Structure 1
Amino acid sequence: MSITTDTRTALPVGTWTLDPVHSTIGFEVDYLGGTFRGQFRETEAKLVAEGDGPVLIGSAKVASVDVKDENLNAHLQSPEFFDAERYPELSFESSEIENDGDEVLIHGGITIRGIEKPVELRGTISEPITDYTGRERIGLRLETTVDRTEFGVDWNAPLPDGNPALTNDVSLAAELYLVKKA
């Protein structure tokens, strides 16, 4: 299912919470010449567009990382990557949300392994719709790229040609379906 969007849609007023069944927060990284993808199964997000200005907050449980292989899931949770035991959650909180012509721009801080860095998310937001149960919903699609080594995620393995197995740049993408709080 895709979200049809008008990229100049204003943020709808209200408090919107994540529909986790229909939402995905994931990542992509170049690995061994291909693209390696994963996602987090346990996520939370809330958009509050009232009063002093809109705020988007979200988090993911590191132990819920899923790359379709239990051994790799365990490796990603280890101290060589996310270190789930010491840092059980990844988080994001916006500092500013704005429309910029064709896109929604969300400035904020992302925290991975206890290290917070500024980030700009770009994406689109759909017009509010009323679903078949009478609840209002919006779709919010966001993307950014971060350098994983800035968060202490610096594991790598050299290939025979001297190149690293894993690139430092990681693309993050969120496809959020948000439901208006009654």
Structure 2
Amino acid sequence: MRNLVKVVGVIVLFFGVLNATEFKVDKSHSNVGFSVKHMMISNVKGKFNTYDSKIDFDAKTKKFYALSATIKTNSVDTANEKRDNHLRSADFFYASKFPDMKFVMKSFKLEDDNEGIMIGDLTIRGVTKEVKLEVELNGVIKDFRGETRLGFTLEGEINRKDFGLKWNKALELGGVVVGEKVEIEVEVEAIKK
């Protein structure tokens, strides 16, 4: 009986994967962003301009079967060239030694009709940690060209020091220049291949 349950489970998983469709990110309508405290009083927002990803999604079941991304660390952009160069340096991303950040989904669970939790491995500066991302499914539509589009948002929080991004300076009246917690904010619009 136990073997029968395993076989049925494998069959269900196999047919679910067959229903999954590969989507390609529409970079002109997507954003890989982050936000971090500056001097404890404001938030600096930034993004990465160069990235690639693989998305396998089943629109009927609203389930992700695969999601992976490679992000070029030298493409960091906070709209301030001096700060961006510092972020590319060995104090932060060390882009010359670690040109890629990577995310690989391990699991996805739909919590209600349009929200779920994605667990995956995030690698920054050669350090891999498991992260939890909240997923909001914004919808699947056919556009005016007849292309199927998927929209979703990923949000989460990491501690930058866990990944070796440890640079900081103390402020004279207390606090530090750069907060430890980094908010991940990713907006994706993807087109069915």
TM over 0.5, yes or no?
yes
2:24 partner letter: T
Determine the structure 2 residue equivalent to 1:41.
Answer: 49
Determine the structure 1 residue equivalent to 2:156.
Answer: 144
- Aligned pair count reads 169
2:56 partner letter: V
Deviation at 1:49, TM superposition (A): 3.3
Determine the structure 1 residue equivalent to 2:27.
Answer: 20
Determine the structure 1 residue equivalent to 2:98.
Answer: 87
1:153 to 162, 165, 176: 165
CA RMSD for the aligned pairs?
A: 1.6
Residues 123-156 of structure 1: CA distance to partner in whole angstroms, max 9, x if unpaired? 2113311112221001010100000000000010
Mapped partners of 1:141, 1:34: distance in 2: 23
Mapped partners of 2:91, 2:173: distance in 1: 23
Deviation at 1:13, TM superposition (A): 3.0
2:67 to 56, 66, 79: 56
Query: Greater RCO between the two (CA within 8 Å, min separation 6)?
Result: 1
1:176 partner letter: V
**Which 4+ stretches in 1 moved above 6 angstroms?**
none
Residues 49-102 of structure 1: CA distance to partner in whole angstroms, max 9, x if unpaired? 37xx70111121111110111111110000000000000011100011110126
Mapped partners of 1:63, 1:48: distance in 2: 27
Q: What's the TM-score, normalizing by structure 2?
A: 0.83
**Percent identity of paired positions between Structure 1 and Structure 2:** 30
SS at match of 1:178: strand
2:75 partner letter: S
Deviation at 1:166, TM superposition (A): 1.3
Mapped partners of 2:45, 2:138: distance in 1: 25
More displaced stretch, 128-137 vs 81-90: 128-137
Mapped partners of 1:178, 1:159: distance in 2: 43
> Structure 1 or 2: larger helix share?
2
Greater Rg by CA? 2
